[in-house]
Structure 1
């Protein structure tokens, strides 16, 4: 163990004696400042001091990354802080214990979202987190996360405003959740103050002519089948059926699901997950045990009931819209043709049949959710009243239904016709021109 002025030349010349695991050179100008050398040749600056009756040593940095002067300056700061009562080693230990945003987010998803949110909501949270949030800020310590970091994430998703705003909301929700355990300060939420992007609601309502095309495509798909296209440039195109024979029939359960969506205004998963046991045909109601807004009755019109009546029930499958899924064959079924498949689960989605229907009906860009909007728009246009429409859709908030208020044109039309006819009759001197006389205020 040597003493002397720690300079670049002295440190470069320092070697670890054979047989020792390390050796030190201590600075003779700054007590407690030294450099350790190891058999590998690695050299590390350190600061040594006594605290709470114990000798303690704290690493400052590696030689090469720090010059002797830079290391001496940091050692002065550290030793000065110790004199004032600080505990650098404990502070570093505490700093290492701070969780990353990814660790906190995973805890939030498993402890909060999985237990208090619906399964599909939890899946959406995870997809958003894995795709966008984790790659951007997951590795940062939660205490080091700044508004600038979150804003960069938000800006990066600017071309998809909905996703950008959802990512921002996710970060905010994680922060507010972990703040309840005092791991961070609630007031330091890095998502606060970042302006959200304007989200343009995509609301498309089918016209009578479009509904006619949709109905024709559904009928064609379940009877003779829909025409499908073949890429003639592909090598196997020559083996494809002739153009007039290129048709494929749609799954009757997929067609029924689409019809139920437009006839009930229900959400996609509400229809796909519905079970026969929930249907009360006598009262014309489908009672859903769970939905986006909790327990919900879906009212079935005569047309919707006809769709249900035409659907065959599959033994062993409780779902109205039956799907396909593998299962283990009971011993009694082994060897039976087609017994390796079971329809015990609901249909997973309607992506392929819906795409085929939209092509056949020339309804480019129409979403399945637009069928729900169309259901509501027809009700609003018929002046059924927003409260009734809200109940049919299962809205928990009246404000959600208010988006259809501008479609309720009939009352306004009747009102303006009544007023206009009365005024015109009065001006023409015809009977029925009952104009209310105003009192003369003397003005």
Structure 2
């Protein structure tokens, strides 16, 4: 490596001849040999640190040596941002590639180590449409345009629209998943960026009473009610119900088997059997009679397997029934709340719902009937004082006396 002045210029040039690095003649932009020497030492430091990505960008003329020197000496983070902006790909095609990757069987969530569900891919696509609307250049924006300032602008824009915090968090989750894919699958330089979540309410408590459920049934097209009733009477997720095959439903045994034969499930605990109550058995029997279904055929075929179509029909039925703020997922809450009100123990509710942990089903404890409280308290007190054993003995004696008289 050497420093010299060109005959036609008064500014110094640094010439680099290193093995494994393209030959470079870089203008320092300065007439000071001392400053030019400092830039030469910066290049050596970059080489020793293994920053060949910076050296390649300098060789391609995408970075100025003076800018790299200033950032390297004063603010390495600024240098990283400069590199990301220069080498950053266009977002539109990159996001399209990511969305296509989500639908491939080889794509696994880094959180659950399971394939992504079609509904997740659909929601991520919707979130990116909203992100592109806020980006100044839309789909032509670069990856480096996703900055802290943009995130703040996006939050503010969504708040002005009256968007709930949970919906904003879903959009940020799509952004976070995309950035993770860029770093892990594409080996792209993704600057560190914190994505703090919006505050959310403790959780939706919307569920339908028996009267509201009857009103919903009356407002729902007859052919769609078996799907919606399956959600309400079994607590299945909409994706689980739409993924059922004819062989998964055994009406004789009054049992539905939820498996991963067709589509990925949310958690390992989602693989389970759920009972079919009598009202639902009649509806499903009528459904399979109207739509002949083989063991490997979808239980809910076209158009019932389309999530967007199901959501559209359900929303229309809710409007006709006069039900407000009700979603498809609230049918699952309806099942869980009525199960708790009927006195079903929380661990069994967890099993029926396919929750990964019992803590996820604890939210329904608020709906447990208080009629059991006095009896439970008496059992505990009896056990603590030893009185419960005497009570049991008295009951046994009473039963024996009745049997003897009979």
Range of TM-score over shorter length: 0.5 to 0.7
Aligned to 2:123: 124
The size of the alignment, in residue pairs, is 314
Matched, 1:307 2:300: no
Alpha-carbon distance change, 263 to 315 in structure 1, aligned in 2, over 3 angstroms: closer
| Rounded Cα–Cα distance in structure 2 between residues aligned with 1:214 and 1:169 | 33
Shift of 1:76: 8.9
Alignment partner for residue 169 of structure 1, among 152, 162, 173?
Answer: 173
| Rounded Cα–Cα distance in structure 2 between residues aligned with 1:382 and 1:140 | 55
Aligned to 1:391: 351
Flag structure 1 segments of 5+ consecutive residues without an equivalent.
Answer: 1-23, 33-47, 61-71, 222-249, 325-344, 423-431, 433-443
| Rounded Cα–Cα distance in structure 1 between residues aligned with 2:188 and 2:89 | 9
Shift of 1:379: 0.7
SS of the aligned residue for 1:84 comes to helix
Alpha-carbon distance change, 104 to 399 in structure 1, aligned in 2, over 3 angstroms: farther
Aligned to 1:230: none
Shift of 1:91: 7.1
Instruction: Output one character per residue of 1:306-347: Cα deviation in whole Å (capped at 9) or x when no partner.
Output: 1111222535772333425xxxxxxxxxxxxxxxxxxxx846
Shift of 1:361: 2.8
Are the aligned partners of 2:272 and 2:352 in contact in 1 as well (CA < 8 Å)?
A: no
| Rounded Cα–Cα distance in structure 2 between residues aligned with 1:110 and 1:347 | 19
User: TM-score, normalised on structure 2?
Assistant: 0.63
Aligned to 2:49: none
Matched, 1:151 2:152: yes
SS of the aligned residue for 2:285 comes to helix
User: TM-score, normalised on structure 1?
Assistant: 0.58
Aligned to 2:403: none
Alpha-carbon distance change, 402 to 189 in structure 1, aligned in 2, over 3 angstroms: farther
The 5 Å alignment of 1:14-33 reads: 26-27=8-9, 30-31=10-11
Alpha-carbon distance change, 104 to 212 in structure 1, aligned in 2, over 3 angstroms: closer
Aligned to 1:84: 41
Aligned to 1:321: 300
SS of the aligned residue for 1:287 comes to strand
Aligned to 1:365: 325
Point out the more displaced range, 141-150 or 293-302. Answer: 141-150
Instruction: Identify the structure with the greater strand proportion.
Output: 1
Are the aligned partners of 1:279 and 1:287 in contact in 2 as well (CA < 8 Å)?
A: yes
Aligned to 2:272: 296
SS of the aligned residue for 1:367 comes to coil
Aligned to 2:207: 205
Are the aligned partners of 2:233 and 2:277 in contact in 1 as well (CA < 8 Å)?
A: yes
Flag structure 2 segments of 5+ consecutive residues without an equivalent.
Answer: 1-5, 44-54, 64-82, 109-115, 383-390, 392-406
Instruction: Identify the structure with the greater helix proportion.
Output: 2
Point out the more displaced range, 204-213 or 86-95. Answer: 86-95
Instruction: Output one character per residue of 1:113-136: Cα deviation in whole Å (capped at 9) or x when no partner.
Output: 741222322222222123326853
Shift of 1:157: 2.2
Aligned to 1:52: 17
CA-based RMSD of the aligned residues comes to 4.1
| Rounded Cα–Cα distance in structure 2 between residues aligned with 1:207 and 1:75 | 82
Shift of 1:176: 4.1
